Amino acid sequence: MSGDVVDQIFIRAKQWLLSWLAGAPDWIIQITSSLLNIFALLGVFLTLFALISVLERKILGRMQNRYGPNRVGPFGLFQPIADGIKMLIKEDIVPARADKIVHFLAPILIAATAILALGVIPYGRNMTPFAIDGGILFFFAVGSTTELAVFMAGWGSNNKFSMLGAMRAIAQMVSYELPLIITTLPVVMVAGALSPDVIVTAQAGYSFGFVPHWFVTTPWGAAAFVLFFVSGLVESNRTPFDVPEGESEIVAGHMTEYSGFKYATFFMAEYIGMFAISGLAVTLFLGGWHAPVRVLQFIPSYIWFFAKLSALLFVYIWLRGTLPRTRIDHIMNFAWKFMLPMAFTCIFAAAVWHYMGRGLAGWLCSLAVIGIVYIALSILLDTRKRFATRTYRFAE
Amino acid sequence: MPPFLFWIFALLMLVFGAAVVINRNPIASALNLVVSFLGLAALFMSLDAFFVGIIQVLIYAGAIMVLFLFIIMLLDLRAEKLRKINWLASAGGIAVALVLLTQILYVIGNLKAAQQTFPPLARSTIDDVRNVGLVLFGNYNLPFQIIGILVLVATIGIVLLSRHELR
Amino acid sequence: MLREYLPVLLQIIVAIGFAASVLLVSVLAGKTGTRSALKDSPYECGMVPQGAGQPRFSVKFYLVAMLFILFDLEIVFMYPWAVVYKEAVAQSSSIFWSMLSFITILMVGYVYALKKGVLDFKK
């Protein structure tokens, strides 16, 4: 089948490269195989990072009625290279009172954890860099060390703004880590495994040939996806939740004392973390590398994965162009009073859905469960009376 | 797992564990403790206990260290830095530790079980998260509910203890 | 065992190596300017830095961390539950009720904390 060849082309290429080593001891082949995976992963995502950094500026520019970068290379596409060289030759300033070691280690740790988290996501059929049984748990365990890196950056700089930014960042990251982890539980429950590969396989198939069996098409899946996406926004410190870096309040938060390439490393880690969270969202809720419609299955699996990933990344950029920054107390209240109960409700709704035989009855019942809790929460948390009615004033 | 990896992780744990005690700065100690935890997690994983290893990172290195660091940030750090080392007390502590170490080595040396090689771990056919789940929700339902009550009591305790701070 | 985790170990080494080498290159290639006491001082928007570098923080942060640990513990129990749910519920629904009662017990604590205003974050 010709479609199969294109779909598995990277695996074939890897096997061809490994065939040069035929006859070498087993461990050499293993190490080479994983190194090939890792460098392919790094190459793809660093390119994606460069591409997204310029596309984000261009899209934001269009949203704000300007051009965005358009000077370096065709359509400004070489901008990231220029930026990279600029960052590389900048002076690296370390404040005198900073803890030099911790100050240096923080960007390394934050970049390393972001890169490590990318490893468990299936990018296509048979294309998971490391297929470990507890992939989802591994992802969150790695992700939870990001908070330590942020703390190290804040504390190592010995600056009030850095420390305050770090404390805020950690407080909001731990608050949203709970809904982030809890919303993956219904998916784990329904798929019956922690391995991302099994979860993607569980989303194969179509009803009537055009409704994919992605978890986002069920009520609990849709609710969990939205909660997961919002938590992902906070975890990657993106607008509207970029309080830790709110430059009008606390300069650049935990990155205040970083300059040159160390700052760029933080920037890169933020973007790679964003790719990782979006990739996990695609894997868990949007069917991973499965095609949305049966007739489009001839398109290779990895193209579908990256198409869905790009769609989510576009939403990230779109939100940044649209929403203003949220206040820190609003962010925290939202996490503990709305996101957490809703996340638990998703588990309950998924349990009901499974219990009712996964059919239409289960679909309606889980919708009812989520609807009731949502309405109850919006009545209990009525925020309308706390705000004065908005008055619009225009420049004459 | 090749023995050299065991030695690397065990050494990592011990060296950074010692650094936790030696460091004067509480935050540096806490950060060293994280590395020690990571070494421990790697050791758990080498014993096929994936779940315990991951929990070690997720709960200890992730959540509990954040709590430690936040508590340290509540305190005044300068007092700790200015504190003088009592050399006599330190020497006494080291002596006690050495006595304990020789005692343990002596006991292990005389123990029959310690001289045999350990039987290899039985490879389970299903992964350990599933195993934990089946056992926890099959045989230990009541203890599980009691854990729930324990966490509830802890929640109430936190709220009560910090009540006057919130005003 | 090693077959599964060797890629993870290698990825850790490569990731740290990559980040460290990039930083080292930037330190070597970067411009070295003249240093002065003012340049080395912490950045406080151009003002002369005041007070200690690390202020003490509100007890609120500690409460958030503490509640986070409690809920994290809960999640630790919920992962094995979620993994076995599908097969266990086919035999008896006790696993469903067991988790429901566990969450209900915890929700009592959550509602208590909510009522006491621990989760009210005000500026």
Q: In Å, how far is C33's CA from the nearest CA of chain B?
A: 30
Select the residue of B129, B134, B148 nearest C106 (Cβ to Cβ). B148
Mean pLDDT over residues B116-135, rounded? 74
* Contact list, A34 vs chain C (CB under 8 Å): 6-7, 10-11
Please check whether residues B56 and B74 belong to one and the same domain: yes
Backbone angles phi, psi at A392, to 5 degrees: -100, 130
Q: Is the pLDDT of residue C77 over 80?
A: yes
Please check whether residues B113 and B134 belong to one and the same domain: no
C-alpha triplet A216, A222, A224: angle, nearest 5° = 110
pTM to 2 decimals? 0.87
Give the ipTM: 0.84
Please check whether residues A373 and A246 belong to one and the same domain: yes
Confidence of residue B15 (pLDDT cuts 50, 70, 90): very high
| Counted domains in chain A | 2
Residue A3 in any domain: the answer is yes
Q: Is the pLDDT of residue B167 over 60?
A: no
Please check whether residues B73 and B17 belong to one and the same domain: yes
Please check whether residues B90 and B36 belong to one and the same domain: no
pLDDT in tens, A271-300: 898 999 999 999 888 888 888 877 777 778
Kindly state the tokens that stand for B65.
């260290």
**What residues are paired with A212 via a beta bridge?**
A206
Please check whether residues A241 and A290 belong to one and the same domain: yes
Boundary residue ending a domain (A47, A68, A89) = A89
Task: Please tell me which chains touch B, using 3 or more CB pairs under 8 Å as the contact test.
Answer: A, C
Residue A275 in any domain: the answer is yes
Note whether C68 contacts A: Cβ–Cβ < 8 A: yes
Contact between residue B166 and residue C59 where contact means Cβ atoms under 8 Å apart: yes
Mean pLDDT over residues C67-93, rounded? 84
- The contacts of residue A280 (CB under 8 Å, 6+ apart) are A121, A136, A139, A184, A196, A232
Please check whether residues A37 and A134 belong to one and the same domain: no
Residue A394 in any domain: the answer is no
Contacting B residues, span 21-80, partner chain C, CB-CB under 8 Å: 45-46, 48, 51, 55, 58-59, 62-64, 66-67, 70-71, 73-78
Query: Which range of residues forms the domain containing residue A47?
Result: 1-89
Please check whether residues B109 and B138 belong to one and the same domain: no
Q: Is A393 exposed, middle or buried (0-12, 13-18, 19+ CB in 10 A)?
A: exposed
Residue A97 in any domain: the answer is yes
Q: Is the pLDDT of residue B98 over 90?
A: yes
Backbone angles phi, psi at A206, to 5 degrees: -140, 145
Please check whether residues B67 and B98 belong to one and the same domain: no
Select the residue of C54, C66, C84 nearest B67 (Cβ to Cβ). C66
Note whether B90 contacts C: Cβ–Cβ < 8 A: no
Interface test with A, best of C13, C23, C56, C104 (most A CBs within 10 A): C23
Interface test with A, best of B23, B29, B48, B57 (most A CBs within 10 A): B57
Distance CA A305, CA A212 (A): 15
Boundary residue ending a domain (A60, A89, A118) = A89
pLDDT in tens, C2-44: 667 778 888 888 888 888 888 888 777 777 777 776 666 666 6
Mean pLDDT over residues C47-54, rounded? 61
| Counted domains in chain B | 3
Distance CA A349, CA A220 (A): 6
- Pairwise pLDDT comparison (C59 vs C23), residue with the higher score: C23
Instruction: Give percent of chain C with pLDDT exceeding 90.
Output: 0
Please check whether residues A261 and A134 belong to one and the same domain: yes
Query: Which range of residues forms the domain containing residue B89?
Result: 85-117
Residue B10 in any domain: the answer is yes
B/e letters for A75-88, b = 16+ CB within 10 Å, e = fewer, are ebbebbeebbeebb
Segment (H or E) for A215: none
* Nearest residue to A340 via CA among C103, B29, B84, B95: C103
Q: Is the pLDDT of residue A93 over 80?
A: no
Please check whether residues B78 and B90 belong to one and the same domain: no
Q: What CATH number is given to the structural domain containing B6? A: 1.20.120.1200
* Contact list, A167 vs chain B (CB under 8 Å): 70, 73
Please check whether residues A50 and A116 belong to one and the same domain: no
Distance CA A110, CA A121 (A): 19
* DSSP designation for A242: -
- Please tell me the predicted confidence (pLDDT) of residue A1: 45
Boundary residue ending a domain (A72, A89, A106) = A89
Contact criterion met (CB < 8 Å) for A185 and C5:
no
Residue B122 in any domain: the answer is no
